[in-house]
Structure 1
Amino acid sequence: MKRRFLLLASTGLLAAAASLHAQTAPIRILVGAPAGGTTDTMARVLAVELGKVLGRTVLVEDKPGAGGNIAADAVAKSPPDGNTLLMSFTSHAINATLYPSLPFDPEKDFTPLTMVSTSPAILVANPSLPANNIRELIALAKARPGKLNFAIGSLGSSVHLAGEAFKMMSGSYIVNIPYRGTAPAIQDVLAGQVEMMFANVGNAQAYIKAGRLKALGVTSPKRLAAFPDVPAIAEVLPGYESNAWFGLFAPGHMNPALAKRISDAARQAIASPEVQRRIAAEGATPVGNSPEEFARFVHAEIQRWGKVVKYSGARPE
């Protein structure tokens, strides 16, 4: 009897210790993109304030590769205890169609917590390009089919699919030149090796303001306050829209109460003045929606980008 009591007591102590460890161990936010990129920046901006709200240490760990799938797979296979989260981006929805098979289900194997921010892209060109607006570009592309090039910072990314949607809706043929990252792609556009590219506003705005790149159009439905003289592509191609988004996920099948607690903390962090300021500095817009709203959005994005992927015939690297 005494031995049984001791065994039960020991088991209880071990369970309590494990629970305490789960609540005090650092939270890891995995990022499926390289350090220094916008997704990594969003994760690090959020991590500091989220740690304050939860009273926990929050670490960011970059696991780039396969369009974000390496980090996503690691999170999908992690225990849903709140200690491992994913800062993902638009490719989370694009990859559902882009890759013939995935080791996870982009909806069922994740618990959406909140969208952190959205960021439109901007179509920029080397100043030597003989087109100064979207109408002129479409006319030039149709006059020279296959002679103009888009630099692609990452195949399967939102900026890649922004170009595919542009070609689909304008009926033009522009050749993709893939690069391993946004930085080398922009450098070649600056050097005139490639005519143009779609880039996140945060990556291109300094070059535009310095006159080293010219902006032809933005992918948001309306013009941006930062570039009021740059038209929305939708002004020429009605219905055109392409925004990058960044969102926080947990592993699938998380306890609803725990998911709500982390989501509420993340949304509180996003609403803080410092996080709002840092996100705006990246040319992005803070969001902080509910898990239900974010889940519906992700589902709709998978359907929307699936049509563009199938039209373009895009394939992963």
Structure 2
Amino acid sequence: MTGMRLALALAIAVLASPCWAQDYPSRPVKIIVPFGAGGPADVTARQIGSILQENFGQPFVIENRTGAGGVIGTFEVSKSAPDGYTLLMMSNTQTANESLVQASQRKYELMKDLAPIAPVNYSDLVIVVHPSVPAKTLAEFIALAKSQPGKLNYASSGQGTPYHMAGELFKTMAGIDLVHVPYRNSGEARSGVIGGQVQMMIDAVTAMAPNVAEGQVRALATTGKTRSTVLPDAPTVIEAGILGYDATIWLGLMAPAGTPKPIIDKLNAAVNAAVKRPDIVKLWTGQGAVPLSMTPEEFDKYLRGDIVKWAEVVKRFGDRPQ
């Protein structure tokens, strides 16, 4: 009898799901950002949340749930009700954590416990140094690091973040030994390099460009395949001689696994429309961010490919990264 009730409940849920999507959202939606306030994920979540609130007529509330390199906030969403009212603003931190953080510590599997909704945008990173560092180019910095193995350090907003992973990829491809100094969030890491407590940092162009313009840090190179429109004078890492280097920070939305497909599709359509708005495109272009638009299925494939990419990087520096 219990089995029959369960089967009936599932059948009713399947039949009712289009109705849920039609009425969705009928109350406030929470977007959890597993990173600190003021960073790219937080800022972008508030921008997208504002547009979704405008379109749907319901509040989209942003909540920061920091800690453990994005694991705490991700875990909270993975265990939330699969009804579309708790979403995750995630980045390549989450895909890197699949190989960097043991499953027993995460207590979730990204592609099993969460469902892809849509990507939002990506931006290049920039390698910057404190003005006191006697290196005017990336080649000079690499030569300096090779002459002082283990003496220079670089900041990141925490283990597994795009900045950390980009740094480890840079270290291995350049053949240098830098000490990783993880901070609690990107704002503190940025302050560390601006204040000279650390020599180098790889940060989002969207966040660091103003500091470069003010002379607080020196830009050595950007990390994309082509030069940044925001920092056009800075060569790419590839131009500087490290062929094949490519690292960005991208952002996207996920929901708890089991969220009805019609709700996923409704959110996907709304996000894709939001990132194509002329005002958003103009704003992001001025900051160095590029809109991304995919179906949930395309985003699923993208995520799985990124998990493989960063797993290879983790193998290069071992299971005990600095």
TM-score, L = length of structure 1? 0.89
Deviates more, 1:211-220 or 1:69-78: 69-78
1:263 paired residue number: 268
For residues 62-119 of structure 1, the C-alpha deviation after alignment (integer angstroms, 9 at most, x for no partner) is 1111222222112211222211111111111011011112211111211111110101
Q: Which runs of 5+ in 1 are unaligned?
A: 1-14
What is the aligned partner in structure 1 of residue 39 from structure 2? 37
Cα distance between partner residues in 1 of 2:149 and 2:92: 29
The change in CA–CA distance for 1:23 and 1:162 in structure 2 (over 3 A counts) is closer
1:191, 1:75 → 2: CA distance? 36
1:154 alignment partner, one of 151, 158, 162:
158
Moved over 6 A (4+): 18-22
Uncovered stretches (5+) of structure 2, i.e. residues with no partner: 1-15
Amino acid at match of 2:264: A
CA contact (8 A) 2:230 2:287 kept: no
Please show how residues 124-143 of structure 1 align to structure 2 within 5 Å.
124-143=128-147
Instruction: Pick the aligned partner of 2:109 from 94, 105, 109.
Output: 105
Query: Which has the higher Rg, Structure 1 or Structure 2?
Result: 1
1:125-274 alignment runs, 5 A limit: 125-235=129-239, 236-274=241-279
Q: Does 1:117 align with 2:121?
A: yes
Query: Match of 2:318?
Result: 313
Distance 1:191 1:84, change over 3 A: closer
Q: CA separation in 2, counterparts of 1:255 and 1:186? A: 40
Deviations 1:33-59 (A, max 9, x none): 112221111111001111222232211
Match of 2:11 in 1: none
CA–CA distance in structure 2, aligned partners of residues 61 and 275 of structure 1: 22
Q: What code does the residue aligned with 2:127 have?
A: L
Equivalent of residue 78 in structure 2, options 76, 79, 85: 76
The 1-side partners of 2:236 and 2:254 are apart by: 31
Percentage of matched positions with identical amino acids: 36
Paired residue secondary structure (1:46):
helix
Secondary structure of 1:197's aligned partner: strand
More deviation in 202-211 or 21-30?
21-30
Give the SS at the match of 2:73: helix
**Residue 297 (structure 1) aligned with residue 302 (structure 2):** yes
Root mean square deviation of aligned Cα: 2.2
Taking structure 1 as reference, are residues 311 and 110 closer, same or farther at Cα in structure 2, changes over 3 Å only? same
Distance 1:26 1:316 in 2: 40
Distance in 2, matches of 1:315 and 1:247, equals: 28
Report how far residue 241 of structure 1 moved: 0.6
Compared with structure 1, are the counterparts of its residues 109 and 265 closer, same or farther at alpha carbon in structure 2 (3 Å cutoff)? same
Matching of residue 96 in structure 1 with residue 98 in structure 2 = yes
* Change over 3 Å in CA distance of 1:315–1:119 after alignment to 2: farther
Are the aligned partners of 1:99 and 1:315 in contact in 2 as well (CA < 8 Å)?
Answer: no
- Secondary structure of the residue aligned to 1:233 is coil
Equivalent-residue separation in structure 1 for 2:200 and 2:306 (angstroms): 26
**1:64 counterpart residue number:** 66
Shift of 1:314: 5.4
Number of residue pairs matched by the alignment: 302
For the residue of structure 1 that corresponds to 2:184, the secondary structure is coil
Q: Equivalent residue of 2:119, what SS?
A: strand
User: What is the rounded CA distance, in whole Å, between the counterparts of 1:216 and 1:309 in structure 2?
Assistant: 25
CA distance in 2 between counterparts of 1:183 and 1:78 reads 29
1:38/1:282 contact within 8 Å kept: no
Structure 1 position 147, deviation (Å): 1.5
- 2:120–2:292 Cα contact (<8 Å) kept: yes
Instruction: Report the AA paired with residue 267 of structure 2.
Output: I
CA distance in 2: counterparts of 1:292 and 1:196, whole angstroms: 38
Name the amino acid aligned to 2:132: S
Distance 1:315 1:109 in 2: 26
